[in-house]
A and B are shown apart, each in its own frame.
Chain A
Amino acid sequence: MNPKKQVLAVKDLSVEYRQKVLRQISFEVYKGEILGLVGESGSGKSSLIRAVTGLLNEGGKVTEGEVLFHGTEILGLQKDKLRSIRGNEIATVFQNPAGFLNPTRKIRKHFIETVRSHEKTSKIDACSRALSIFEKLDLKDGKRILDSYPFELSGGMNQRVAIALSMVLEPDLLLADEPTSALDLTIQDQVIDEFLRLRDVLGTAIVIVTHNMGVVAKAADRVGVVYDGEIVEIGDANKILKDPLHPYTIGLMDSVPTYKNKKIKSIPLKNDDVKRPVEGCRFAPRCTYASERCFKEKQILRKNQEDHYCRCMRVEEINVNK
């Protein structure tokens, strides 16, 4: 078998607005692999997706690190070069599809523009490609959808339109930020199947940011857990879902509602953006296992077992007593 082919590598990436939001993030995604990213609201997941494609919101900047796409650094590329990679080879589904779609343009126009800015083809062809993806995403009434403005569609319809737009050029890398948050569970399954199909047939490398552990369980090969701008746990999806190691991940799993678990617990809250100890573990102010040393010593991502890494110095003690 061929060795795994690396598609995306993020190395020590840091991002700040007025405040620091990402701290030396590193991970890799290989051809045909799906990485799930979960984590706290406000921890920097969307900023990460935006930074990778050079589309940070106003006021945001990358302060260190690099992003390699097929081995080539892309953060320093000329704007037009980056634009041509974006959409064609790297596609993104943004978290807020209604805000990303142009409200004054019909859905048809979105597809025609996206396809024809990268390929010489007819408008009819662009639309028929859209229709065939709609069908796979269980988006009924495709002709009506193409003829609609975003405001004439429901939340879940717009979300699937955005997903279809990201798939239409068959990218090598697909970055999807909360792509199923507006979908009912039956359609969610179907959309995930389509991501899996893309991965299996075309070898697309996919990063899915999601709050939904069901999506992670069904789609992800590997998972990264983000807390306050850092990856606190990363590795094989099955291992992390079955046996989470980091106290934050453990707390997160206890908050997942299921038919049986009706008493969902939150991790005791502190305000977002509150000043926290900069030196020690960033989770210490909320961690039930925190010791004095935790507040003082910088935590590093350490290997616990094969493809399972955790940023907690007490991980062995905690998980023995669990």
Chain B
Amino acid sequence: MSTNEQMKNPILTVENVSKSFTKKYAKIPAVDGVNLSVAAGEVLGLVGESGSGKSTLARLITGMIKPDTGKIIMDGKNINDIKNKKSKAMLSNIQMVFQDAYSSFDGRMKIGDSIGEFLDNHYKMSREMKREKTIELLDKVGLSPEHANRIPGQLSGGQCQRAAIARAISTNPKILVCDEATSALDVSVQAQIMELLERLRQDLDIGFLFISHDLPLVNCFAHRMAVMYEGKILETGTPEKIINDPKFEYTQKLVSAGRY
């Protein structure tokens, strides 16, 4: 993917966002003064140490939790303003593939019904249309209609992750947050999913926040990347620049661990 595409105005902006958790005797600054932006059709890769706050940042961006300080602006609107919060359009514009695919589904509900319920929240559709759309989505991620009739526990790790991707792309979001979205896939299916995401990016101009610990993979897909460490963004730049000339010790370690 070329890195010198014309970058448009950011569609998502994270402004000086912090979030901490308190645990009895200690305060955990999970996200600490983070700034970043994603333009339409742009892929921002996010790598970083385990526990550095990537998933917390993802949950902040999708509005699941609120920042202590700072703003998250989507399409010019603060997502945590009451009047914007109620808007369905706002919600369907940011979608997420969760790190733990199994628990992002209702464990007692068939996959097809989960996706159907999701479609209900965003569109008016007849039962047949929903069924058709669900099967089409599953097919895109390499699953068969039969998988729609299973509960999450009856799918393999990678099949469940792909069902989560199918659900997230069902509303044609403007921003797709992928939190380790291909970590349970074999490399061949991973390549196929990456082809799908790249096609969606080109056709629909979706912007991605692509969280992954797989630096070589981020290098394939991202236009820019950010390195997170202990709640802060250490450095940002093109993957090429960061891989060839990492500025921080952590990034240097990460880059050399990714060589094989």
Within 8 A of B (CB), among A261-318: 261-267, 269, 271-274
> Residue-by-residue, is B20-59 near A (CB-CB < 8 Å gives 1, otherwise 0)?
0101101010000000000000000001111100110000
Please judge, given known A-B contacts A148-B23, A189-B257, A251-B188, whether A155 and B243 are in contact too, CB under 8 Å: no
> Which residues on B sit within 8 Å (CB–CB) of A184?
47-50, 213, 254
> Residue-by-residue, is B213-242 near A (CB-CB < 8 Å gives 1, otherwise 0)?
111110110000000000000000000000
Q: B187: CB under 8 A from chain A? A: yes
- Complex: chain B residue closest to A45, CB-CB: B156
Contact-residue bracket for chain B: 35 or more
> Which residues on B sit within 8 Å (CB–CB) of A213?
187, 260
Query: A252 near B187 (CB under 8 angstroms)?
Result: yes
Q: B100: CB under 8 A from chain A? A: yes
Query: B188 near A267 (CB under 8 angstroms)?
Result: yes
Q: B183: CB under 8 A from chain A? A: yes
CA distance A274 to B145 in the complex (A): 10
CA distance A96 to B142 in the complex (A): 21
CA distance A271 to B143 in the complex (A): 6
CA distance A75 to B72 in the complex (A): 55
- The secondary-structure label for the interface of chain A is loop
Please judge, given known A-B contacts A157-B51, A184-B213, whether A99 and B184 are in contact too, CB under 8 Å: no
Please judge, given known A-B contacts A152-B23, A154-B51, A155-B50, whether A258 and B260 are in contact too, CB under 8 Å: yes
Please judge, given known A-B contacts A217-B260, A252-B186, A252-B188, whether A182 and B144 are in contact too, CB under 8 Å: no
Query: A39 near B157 (CB under 8 angstroms)?
Result: no
Query: B157 near A155 (CB under 8 angstroms)?
Result: no
Interface contacts (Cβ under 8 Å), in number, total 167
CB-defined A-B contacts under 8 Å, sample of 14: A41-B186, A148-B23, A155-B50, A155-B180, A160-B50, A182-B213, A185-B258, A257-B187, A258-B259, A259-B215, A259-B219, A259-B258, A271-B142, A273-B144
Given A95-B157, A211-B190, A266-B191, 12 more contacts at CB 8 Å?
A: A41-B162, A99-B100, A155-B100, A156-B213, A178-B157, A178-B184, A184-B254, A186-B253, A187-B49, A255-B190, A257-B216, A264-B191
Chain B residues packing against A (C-beta within 8 Å): 1, 21, 23-24, 26, 28, 47-51, 54-55, 99-100, 102-103, 139, 142-144, 146-147, 153-154, 156-159, 162, 180, 183-192, 194-195, 213-217, 219-220, 243, 250, 253-254, 257-260
